[in-house]
């Protein structure tokens, strides 16, 4: 039962795909920036032991991290860090998180640790409207924690030959989480990334995805764009690195589309 004395909770979106290299972290970083540009207050929860979302925002020093948040019950307000991007905050991650799966196994509430951490009253003071969880590239206990904590899942899908293979396993995991721990979990959509409109294969993958998944596939397609690849080396999202690039335009369009879908689901 919701606590009517508290402000509305932020919408929590898990950005997930068990396959690596599909643009998952890139999507979390740049979607956050695009939502922030649209005036929304956004928290990124870096749940990937590689910590690329953290370094992508220039946050890489060893203070409290998501490991401390879910393993040691660190206060949420001590873990949240402000970034240089207006309206974007982050719970950073380091390689310490790589041992979290093993350490969580002995906890009988192991699937609910992140959910409970994000429900702390301390989150109210920040006024977040969105929380984006950058999941690890695996269907691990960390990913399960993200799905249990989330309202919805956004799935980046690389426009390549084996793109749809493995997606069925992710969908099965989402159904299992919905059946056992989070009945309200929804799929926001599948986002095609690294798309090359000049490439027949990319076009075929897009057509196959739309034929198979229908309206679940976002209209927005993120193109293969060198500016998107360069931006992390400067520790900024592509919207700050090159606001007029095709990549920036795509993530703005994705934010607009997600906001539209969110208002329908609300």
User: Residue 135 falls within a domain, yes or no?
Assistant: yes
The answer to whether residue 260 is domain-embedded is yes
pLDDT for 233: 92
99 belongs to a structural domain: yes
pLDDT along the chain (266 residues), means of 10: 75 94 94 97 97 91 90 95 96 94 91 96 95 95 97 92 81 94 95 87 87 93 93 94 96 96 56
Alpha-carbon distance 111 to 14, whole Å?
14
Assigned domain for 1 exists: no
2 in a structural domain:
no
CATH number (domain holding residue 105): 3.40.50.300
DSSP 111-148: TSHHHHHHT-GGGGGGT-SEEEEE--SSSSHHHHHHHH
Contact 115, 149 (CB under 8 A): yes
Gap between the terminal Cα atoms of the chain:
17
Count how many domains the chain has: 1
Domain membership of residue 4 (yes or no) is no
- Domain extent at residue 54: 11-265
Distance CA 140, CA 176 (A): 13
Query: Bridge-partner residues for 172, per DSSP?
Result: none
pLDDT value at position 4? 66
Q: Is residue 39 part of a domain?
A: yes
Element (H, E) at 24: helix 24-37
Which token pair is 100?
Answer: 């979290």
For residue 6, tell me if it sits in a domain. Answer: no
């Amino acid at each position: 039962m919701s606590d009517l004395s508290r402000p509305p909770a932020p919408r929590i979106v898990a950005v997930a795909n068990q396959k690596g290299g599909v643009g998952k972290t890139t999507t979390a970083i740049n979607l956050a920036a695009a939502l922030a540009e649209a005036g929304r207050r956004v928290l990124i929860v870096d749940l990937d032991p590689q910590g690329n979302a953290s370094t992508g925002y220039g946050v890489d020093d060893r203070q409290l991290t998501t490991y401390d948040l879910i393993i040691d019950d660190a206060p949420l307000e001590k873990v949240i860090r402000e970034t240089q991007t207006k309206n974007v905050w982050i719970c950073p991650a380091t390689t310490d998180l790589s041992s979290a799966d093993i350490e969580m196994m002995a906890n009988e509430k192991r699937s609910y640790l992140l959910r409970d951490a994000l429900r702390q009253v301390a989150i109210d003071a920040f006024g977040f409207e969105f929380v984006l969880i950058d999941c690890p590239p695996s269907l691990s206990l960390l990913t399960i924690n993200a799905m249990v904590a989330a309202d919805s899942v956004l799935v980046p899908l690389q426009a390549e030959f084996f793109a749809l293979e493995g997606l069925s396993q992710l969908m099965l995991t989402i159904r299992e989480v919905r059946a056992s721990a989070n009945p309200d979990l929804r799929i926001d959509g599948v986002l095609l990334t690294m798309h090359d409109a000049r490439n027949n294969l990319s076009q075929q993958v897009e057509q196959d995805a739309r034929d198979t998944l229908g309206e679940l596939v976002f209209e927005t397609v993120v193109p293969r764009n060198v500016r998107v690849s360069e931006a992390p080396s400067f520790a900024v999202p592509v919207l700050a690195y090159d606001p007029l690039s095709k990549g920036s335009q795509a993530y703005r369009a994705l934010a607009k589309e997600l906001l539209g879908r969110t208002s329908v689901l609300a």
